[in-house]
């Protein structure tokens, strides 16, 4: 079964609006990462947040982590058409093997 589950499965917004995606996971983690995948392409690493961090920023991206609720959110501010992609969270299994389990993804569509 999937370690991470993103919510919503699909999101459609207007350019300039903010987009929020959520990720829930099941077991304890060392860190959580967010990736972006453009259609038919490989995944691109966006941001990593460690289990002892609560919030992290990178450009227009803001990630929060709530280990008590086993959840994370990715906020993209002032979205652009180029942000249209699928977004995945990935969690390690705190097993020291550097294996990451990916969620099912959120498909974001930003309308110009």
- Closest contact distance (angstroms) between CB of 104 and other proteins is 4
The number of residues in the chain equals 112
Query: Which of 14, 97 has the CB closer to other proteins?
Result: 97
Query: Which of 68, 97 has the CB closer to other proteins?
Result: 97
56-75 positions binding other proteins, by CB under 8 A: none
Residue 100 sits in the site that holds other proteins (CB under 8 A): yes
Residue whose entry in the numeric block shows the structure tokens 């903010």: 18
Query: Which of 15, 22 has the CB closer to other proteins?
Result: 22
Residues in the interface with other proteins (CB under 8 A) total 25
The binder of other proteins chosen from 14, 68, 69, 98 (CB under 8 A): 98
* Contacts of residue 10, Cβ cutoff 8 Å, sequence gap at least 6: 106, 107, 108, 109
Closest C-alpha to 67, from 81, 49, 86, 43: 49
Query: Which of 14, 96 has the CB closer to other proteins?
Result: 96
Which residues are at the interface with other proteins (CB under 8 A)?
2, 4, 30-31, 33, 35, 40-45, 48, 88, 90, 92, 97-105
């Amino acid at each position: 079964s999937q370690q991470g589950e993103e919510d919503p499965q699909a999101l459609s917004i207007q350019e300039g609006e903010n987009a929020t995606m959520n990720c829930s996971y099941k077991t304890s983690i060392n860190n959580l990462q967010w990736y972006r995948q453009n259609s038919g392409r490989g995944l691109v690493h966006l941001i990593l947040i460690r289990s002892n961090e609560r919030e992290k920023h990178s450009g227009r991206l803001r990630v929060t982590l709530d280990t008590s609720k086993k959840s994370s959110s990715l906020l993209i501010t002032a979205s652009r058409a180029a942000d249209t992609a699928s977004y995945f969270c990935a969690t390690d299994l705190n097993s020291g093997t550097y294996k990451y389990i990916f969620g099912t993804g959120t498909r974001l569509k930003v309308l110009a």
